[in-house]
Chains A and B, each alone.
Chain A
Amino acid sequence: MTATPARARLAAALDRAGMLLVLAVLVAVCWAAVPGFGTSRNAADLLLQVSTVGMVASTMLFCLASGNFDLSVGTVIPCGGVLCALVLRQTGSAPLAIAVALAFGAVVGLVNGVVVAKFRINALIATLSTLMMARGAAFVFAEGKSIGINSPAVLNLANVAFPVFRDPGTGAIVFQISLPVWICLGLFAFFGFVLARTAFGRNTLAIGGNEEAARLAGIAVDRVKITIFAVQGLVAALAGVLLAARMGIGDPKTAQGIELSIISACVLGGVSLAGGVGRMSHVVAGVFIMGIVENAMNLLGIDSFYQYIVRGAILLGAVLFDRFRTRR
């Protein structure tokens, strides 16, 4: 007996929804069980918390979908912030500072792309090298210390919010969506569209699915790969600038190990590490599941040492679940 069409359709819909469904369940459970989770203040904090990982994950999706990945974002993020703070201190010009930081990220990405695409070096090794170099560069630029930011223009990047709801009595902020969150959501929407609906996205998935076939089909494989890495670097630097603006300092020691959080959020959502498979909905689900779990653990006062164990276990559970689901 085969399943009835209605049941088959339901199964297919569940399959498509996948981790988004898990995310919905998780939100419901936390709302009910974790004190303080359902407050609008916590929601605003949560959104801001995940925005850094979210921004970079939206371009990491392209790296993974094309069968590569990029570790260097883990230090491009702090280095971007440090550079921005440094140029601000030297020149006082916010546009110049941001431009220098973004250009630095794009150049690191470009180097990654050229090394991976043209010299055919394994992406793990190539980006591990640039990861270390960018960490070193951040410490060199900052001379080992963090650099304070006092430009209102840059600080505002993280603080501008819309809409802002205040408590009519006390005037305290009840809920707001700040600029980094909007940028993150904008990147989700933009890169989601690029992957699903444009030639560039199609080519990215084709390269991840079968690089040689893609090349022989006339796709400019190297150019696509280099572009993916360059954009990845640029977005990582942007995330770094926004993070520095939020903290008010360019700190070379910040965001340690974030590259693994980003990649694991993507994989958790269902993006294949082998390439060729990935959708933005996967990334959104993965980023928020990771963020919510972390947020809930903080609210419950769970020690950060245990948090690592839980996060690792969730990632392992998710990929095992996925393997089980696809084998069926």
Chain B
Amino acid sequence: MPPAPPALAFEGISKSYPGVHALQEVSFAVRAGSVHALMGENGAGKSTLLKILSGAHPPSAGCLRLAGEARVFSSTLEAMQAGVAVIYQELHLVPEMTVAENIFLGHLPVRRGVVDRPRLRALAATQLRRLGEESIAPDTRLGGLPLGQRQMVEIAKALSRGARVIAFDEPTSSLSAREIERLFGVIAELRREGCAILYVSHRMEEIFRLGDACTVLRDGRHVQTFGRLAETTPEELVRAMVGRAIADVFGRTPRTLGGPGLEVAGVVGPGLRAPASFAVARGEVFGLFGLVGAGRTELLKILFGSPAATAGEIRVRGRAVAVRGPSDAIRAGIVYCPEDRKREGIIPLGSVRENCNLSARRNTLRFGGVLDESWERENARRQIEALGVRTPSADQLIKNLSGGNQQKVILGRWLSERVDVLLLDEPTRGVDVGAKSEIYQLVFKLAREGVAVVVVSSDLPEVLGLADRVGVMRHGRLAALLSREEATPERVLGLALPVEETIPAPP
């Protein structure tokens, strides 16, 4: 008897958009009861593949096979009914509805045309129990739940439809360490139950912890499928992804620190529970670590005047500055790259050029006045070149660029003029390995030029790799300031965790 066909197989999938071949002849299979990782730099075609799997876009050529049966979905509903669920980074849930309503959205149990509430509640409770999430009450409003639990609701929703193939798109990017653990537990359980899981992530540790197999895409093509991930090394994966080995993603070179760059004394504001004080020298990179919700983003934004600090003093290169809003901060030489690029960074319908020049003091930041368009074109060209932004032209809409390239454009927005203090909030979230390394190099280059840099990141290796000193935040307080030598992973994590909890002893 031949072996059972794989739960999910991609067969020669191609997808082209006008002028772009997003995918070319991609073929690989995902076995039932396994976690198959999907890796590749941004723009490699992972999202397109997921969209084809979910039925959002039909492939230009090729087909899917579910347990051997060839399928081409023409709608997401069809895919759902065939037992395929894709769980995106941005969850597709309705915050104003209850947990139970969200789980059964689109197939609510009805009796004589009216929603059968008791049954809905019971069914939802069953699904949640299956995920070990009994603590979520089916009647809670979804919007009141933390992100990790909302994701569980999304998974419950997929299971309620009888999903046997579940794809996750960067599921951990906004979760806290504890939520990630819960999610991994659930994924392991789904695997035991025989689901086929496609897992898209940039995080190497996760891939190796969860994955049974791994497929790497590059430039829309299938590069390699590692059938037994346990026999592979991270270096091999990275090489397959970028086509070259990255020796050291950080590549630190010695820097000399200058005089005071940024001094923060007793700053208080919304989201902070205690006054924060720290100083960053010119040329220094200061890392700010903490769990999600510890107040890192809040502190950074207060330094940028959004919202303004209610007390305390901010000094830039020794001069006290009054920061009442972003424009004051920018005038004082403080600039901020937001965590949520899509919501707070880019103007999606604007071109790369417009996005790049959005904070030009000689142009947009004036209230009126005629734009200097030849300067804008020249500046955009310069930034695209200097930062290595991959875009067909400066007139391309920024929403068509990959995350890493959008991030570079936003950095470029600030770099056309004098910057004294650079505040980076999760600068490499959703950015692929190659672009990550480029962004790190850029941070070091700016530091060498005398910029005081503050980096917030949830990625501990990133903070430790970048920072000369580390501040740890916990519960809205700046709990500790550590030198590079003091900042061991155990110490930093220990300080970041809630005090009342004990830290598992290292083996």
Identify the A interface with B (CB < 8 A): 2, 197-200, 202-203, 205-206, 209-210, 212-220, 223-224, 276-277
A216 with B338: CB separation less than 8 A: yes
Verify A219–B364 contact, CB threshold 8 A: yes
B176 sits at the interface (CB 8 A): no
B444 at the interface (CB under 8 A from A): no
- Taken together as a complex, chains A and B put the C-alpha atoms of A202 and B347 apart, in Å, by 11
Inter-subunit contact B343/A202 (CB<8 Å): no
Knowing A205-B350, A216-B306, A218-B365, say if A197 contacts B326 (CB, 8 Å): no
A-B residue pairs in contact (CB < 8 Å), sample of 8: A197-B373, A206-B350, A210-B346, A210-B348, A213-B344, A213-B358, A218-B359, A277-B349
Q: Is the CB of A200 within 8 A of B367?
A: yes
Q: Say whether, besides A198-B369, A199-B364, A202-B354, A216 and B336 are in contact (CB < 8 Å).
A: yes
Asked whether, in the complex, the Cβ of A206 is within 8 Å of the Cβ of B347, the reply is yes
Q: Give Cα A199–Cα B306 distance, bound, in whole angstroms.
A: 22
- Tell me whether A199 and B347 are in contact (CB under 8 A): no
> CB distance B358 to A206 under 8 Å?
yes
Contact check: which of A200, A205, A209, A219 meets B368 at CB < 8 Å?
A200
Chain A residue nearest in CB terms to B368: A200
B298 CB → nearest A CB, Å: 14
| CA gap between A75 and B346 in the complex, in Å | 37
Residues in B neighbouring A220, C-beta threshold 8 A: 327, 367
B370 touches A214 (CB 8 A): no
Given A197-B370, A215-B326, A217-B413, CB of A202 within 8 Å of CB of B364: yes
Within 8 Å CB of B327, what residues of A? 218-220
CB-based nearest B residue for A194: B368
User: Which listed residue (A2, A200, A210) contacts B347, Cβ 8 A?
Assistant: A210
Contacts of B326 in A (CB 8 A): 215-218
Which residues does chain B contribute within 8 Å of A224, judged by CB atoms? 367
Residues of B within 8 A of A215 (CB): 306, 326
- Give the complex CA separation of A140 and B344 in angstroms: 46
B404-419: contact bitstring with A at CB < 8 Å (1 yes, 0 no)? 0000000001000000
Contact status B368-A198, CB under 8 Å: yes
- Using a CB-CB cutoff of 8 Å, which residues 335-382 of chain B contact chain A? 336, 338, 343-350, 354, 358-359, 363-371, 373
A2, A199, A209, A276: the one contacting B363 at CB < 8 Å is A199
Q: Does B286 contact A (CB under 8 A)?
A: no
The 5 A-B residue pairs whose C-beta atoms are closest, nearest first, are A209-B347, A218-B330, A218-B327, A217-B358, A276-B349
Choose one: B336, B343, B369; the contact of A212 (CB below 8 Å).
Answer: B343
| B73 contacts A by Cβ under 8 Å | no
Q: Which residues on B are within 8 Å of A, measured CB to CB?
A: 18-19, 304, 306, 326-327, 329-330, 336, 338, 343-350, 354, 358-359, 363-371, 373, 413
Nearest Cβ on chain B to A221's Cβ, whole angstroms: 9
Please judge, given known A-B contacts A197-B370, A218-B330, whether A213 and B364 are in contact too, CB under 8 Å: no
Q: How close is A64's CB to chain B, nearest CB, in angstroms?
A: 14
Q: B366's contact among A199, A209, A213, A217, by CB below 8 Å, is which?
A: A199
Are A202 and B363 neighbours in the complex by a CB distance under 8 Å? yes
How far apart sit A220 and B366, CA to CA, in the bound complex (Å)? 9
> What number of residue pairs across chains A and B have CB atoms under 8 A from each other?
88
Residues on B with C-beta less than 8 A from A210 are 343-344, 346-348
Q: A2-B19, A218-B330 are in contact. Are A213 and B371 (CB under 8 A)?
A: no
Contacts of A219 in B (CB 8 A): 327, 358, 364-365
Residues of A close to B336: CB separation below 8 A: 216
Tell me, in angstroms, the Cα distance from A274 to B32 when the chains sit together.
Answer: 44
Q: How far is the CA of A220 from the CA of B361 in the complex (A)?
A: 12
- The dominant DSSP class at the B interface is loop
CA distance A238 to B327 in the complex (A): 34
Q: Report how far A265 CA is from B492 CA in the complex, Å.
A: 60
Known A206-B354, A213-B347; 15 more pairs at CB < 8 Å: A2-B18, A197-B370, A197-B373, A199-B363, A199-B367, A200-B367, A200-B368, A202-B358, A206-B347, A206-B358, A213-B345, A216-B306, A217-B359, A218-B326, A276-B348
Contact A276 B347 (CB under 8 A): yes
Known: A2-B19, A220-B327. Is A199-B345 also a contact (CB below 8 A)? no
Please state if B348 and A209 are interface contacts (CB–CB under 8 Å).
yes
Q: Please indicate the chain A residues that have their CB under 8 angstroms from the CB of B367 in the complex.
A: 199-200, 220, 223-224
A210 to B304, CA, bound (A): 18
Closest-by-CB residue of B relative to A201 is B371
Distance A219 CA – B413 CA, assembled complex (angstroms): 13
In angstroms, Cα B408 to Cα A258, docked, is: 46
Please give the distance in Å from B335's CB to the nearest CB on chain A.
Answer: 9
Which residues of A are found within 8 Å of B346, using beta-carbon distances?
210, 213
- Taken together as a complex, chains A and B put the C-alpha atoms of A217 and B330 apart, in Å, by 9
Could you say which residues of chain B place their CB within 8 Å of the CB of A2? 18-19
Contact check, A197 vs B371: say whether CB atoms are below 8 A apart. yes
In the complex, what residues of A have CB within 8 A of residue B329's CB? 218
Choose among A205, A216, A223 the residue that contacts B304 (Cβ–Cβ < 8 A). Answer: A216
Q: Which B residues are in CB contact (< 8 Å) with A276?
A: 347-350
Complex: how many Å from CA A216 to CA B329?
A: 10
Measured CA separation A213–B350 after assembly (Å): 12
Q: Could you tell me the distance in whole angstroms from the C-beta of A187 to the nearest C-beta in chain B?
A: 17
- Inter-chain CA distance A204–B366, complex, in Å, is 12
Q: How far is the CB of A126 from chain B (nearest CB, A)?
A: 23
CB distance from A208 to the nearest CB of B (A): 8
B350 CB to closest chain A CB, in angstroms? 6
A197, A206, A209, A224 interface centre (most CB from chain B within 10 Å): A209
| Closest CB in chain B relative to A205 CB, distance in Å | 7
Q: Which residues of the partner chain A approach B345 to less than 8 Å between Cβ atoms? A: 213, 216
Return chain A residues, CB-CB under 8 Å to B338: 213, 216
Residue of B nearest to A206 (CB): B347
Q: Would A199 and B358 count as touching, CB distance under 8 A?
A: no
Contacts of B354 on A, CB cut-off 8 Å? 202, 206
Task: Verify B371–A202 contact, CB threshold 8 A.
Answer: yes
Cβ distance A231 to chain B, nearest Cβ, rounded Å: 12
Bound Cα distance A210, B399 (Å) = 12
B392, chain A: closest CB distance, angstroms: 14
Q: Tell me if A206 and B371 are in contact (CB < 8 A).
A: no
Selected contact of A214 from candidates B18, B347, B366, CB within 8 Å: B347
B75 to A: closest C-beta gap in Å: 15
User: In angstroms, how far is the closest chain A Cβ from the Cβ of B399?
Assistant: 10
Shortest C-beta distance, B484 to chain A (Å), equals 30
Which chain B residue has the least Cβ–Cβ distance from A200?
Answer: B368
Distance between Cα atoms of A65 and B358 in the complex (Å): 16
State in angstroms the CA–CA spacing of A213 and B327 once bound together: 13
A206 and B364 form a contact (CB under 8 A): yes
